[in-house]
Amino acid sequence: MAKDRAEFMRLYLQAQAPLRSYLYSLLGRRDEMEEVFQEVSVVLWEEFEKYDETRPFLPWVLGIARNQAARWRRSRARTAGWLDAAVEAQLARSFVELEDELAGRRLALAHCMERLGQRARELLALRYERGLSLQEIALREQRSVNAVNKALAKIRHFLAECTELLLRAEAHP
């Protein structure tokens, strides 16, 4: 009998953030991470029948991600600078161990992001989602690089303080 695809989606949605972070730590570039993330997502969907539900889902996901990242790197000419396999395995274990804490941080950060104005969210998106350089943002926004840098620093400072306050409040109700 085919495994419940709704269960796959529930587990997969919980694993997306740590999966993306893990792949980024292995590959170091957002565009490469996104490409491999898509490949991993397809493999997870296709291989879900083989998943042993008596075991945790995230380690299974990260194992597949590590294999896909290695396959992707082998298919590219550029191979210098990749992490040793033992380091990659330790990273996967660390991601699993830290996931509960990181999940809480992600929720707190999302709440704090909602408190930002539209302009601040747009600056963050340009820098961290689209990966534009400070120079590119400055040109686009018709501001100096220094002004963009200061604005992003203020936003990051606000998000860090807001996140920490929420986490402390949660820990000590």
Q: What is the pLDDT along the chain (173 residues), one digit of tens a residue?
A: 356 888 899 999 989 988 998 898 888 788 888 999 999 999 999 999 989 889 889 999 999 999 899 888 888 755 555 667 777 777 778 877 777 777 888 888 889 999 999 999 999 888 887 888 889 999 999 999 999 999 999 999 999 999 999 888 877 76
Please write down the long-range contacts of 21-25, taking CB distance under 8 Å and 24 or more positions apart. Answer: 21/95, 21/102, 22/62, 22/65, 22/91, 22/92, 22/95, 23/65, 23/69, 25/91
Predicted structure pTM score: 0.58
